[in-house]
Amino acid sequence: MTQDEMKKAAGWAALEYVTKNSIVGVGTGSTVNHFIDALATRKEEIKGAVSSSVASTERLEQIGIKVFDANDVASLDIYVDGADEINAQFNMIKGGGAALTREKIVAAIAEKYICIVDNTKQVDVLGQFPLPVEVIPMARSFIGRELVKLGGDPVYREGVVTDNGNIILDVYNMAITDPKAMEDSINALPGVVTVGLFAHRGADVVLIGTPEGTKIIEK
């Protein structure tokens, strides 16, 4: 089974959590794109979606699913999104697709985060994948110096401007043994918009595409 086939299996398995007449929180990335394809088969039953990126909004609208502004909803039953890494405590690294800020907002609105991943995303310790940090452009050098003090090697993500007009620093060589503490440390830096550590708001259910089929793990 290829990695994309495992992503597809996880994405389609998430349909189980979609309820009638609901507004569904939708993340960003290639695994989520499979979920959006699956959601298309249920579009008459749901009210619509709240999206975490321009890319996902365009994809949802292309298949005829109404996209609501996050300000139009007080809560969401579920938020379905992928991850770049996820540990046994359901803490995640996200932001590989540069959508971490809006993803964190929509995840915060939702009751339940349904994480859809292939089995290559499971790790014991977060940090093999470079940690994305969304930064106000004027703070790029200052934040870079501060991230070095925290033990990382920050690299500017060339040519990328987020949906919010900011830049991304990817922090290499971090072994994040205390994700909540690291999330707090980086969040506290003036100029950081969002750090791609989802520890305070981790996943609630993980659907893992594997060669043997889709594994479901609930908190």
Site map (CB under 6 A) of ligand 5RP, residues 44-83, x = contact: -------------------------------------xxx
Stretch that binds ligand 5RP, among 58-66, 93-101, 140-148, 182-190 (CB under 6 A): 93-101
Please pick, among 85, 103, 134, 183, the residue that the annotation labels catalytic: 103
Residue 69: how many other CB atoms lie within 10 Å = 8
Interface with ligand 5RP, residue 11, by CB under 6 A:
no
Residue of the chain from 99, 110, 133, 192 that contacts ligand 5RP (CB under 6 A)? 99
Interface with ligand 5RP, residue 208, by CB under 6 A:
no
CB-based contacts of 109, cutoff 8 Å, min separation 6: 25, 50, 70, 73, 74, 75, 76, 79
Q: Which of 209, 201, 217, 215 is nearest to 79 (CA)?
A: 201
Stretch that binds ligand 5RP, among 91-99, 105-113, 142-150, 160-168 (CB under 6 A): 91-99
Task: Kindly report the backbone phi and psi dihedral angles of residue 149, in degrees, each rounded to the nearest multiple of 5, phi listed first.
Answer: -60, -30
- Closer of 99 and 186 to ligand 5RP (Cβ): 99
Length of the chain counted residue by residue: 219
Query: Annotated catalytic, 103?
Result: yes
Interface with ligand 5RP, residue 34, by CB under 6 A:
no
State the Rg of the chain over Cα. 17
Interface with ligand 5RP, residue 193, by CB under 6 A:
no
Residue 127 in marked binding region:
no
User: What gap in Å lies between CA 107 and CA 201, rounded to an integer?
Assistant: 8
Residue of the chain from 26, 31, 152, 194 that contacts ligand 5RP (CB under 6 A)? 31
User: What gap in Å lies between CA 154 and CA 147, rounded to an integer?
Assistant: 7
Q: Which of 144, 159, 28 is nearest to 94 (CA)?
A: 28
Helix, strand or coil for residue 58?
Answer: helix
- Closer of 53 and 144 to ligand 5RP (Cβ): 53
Smallest gap from residue 49 Cβ to ligand 5RP (A): 15
Interface with ligand 5RP, residue 202, by CB under 6 A:
no
Q: What is the DSSP letter of 169?
A: E
Contact 67, 40 (CB under 8 A): no
Contact 177, 188 (CB under 8 A): no
- Closer of 142 and 210 to ligand 5RP (Cβ): 210
**Which residues contact ligand 5RP by CB under 6 A?**
27-31, 81-84, 94-100, 103
Annotated binding site for substrate: 28-31, 81-84, 94-97, 121
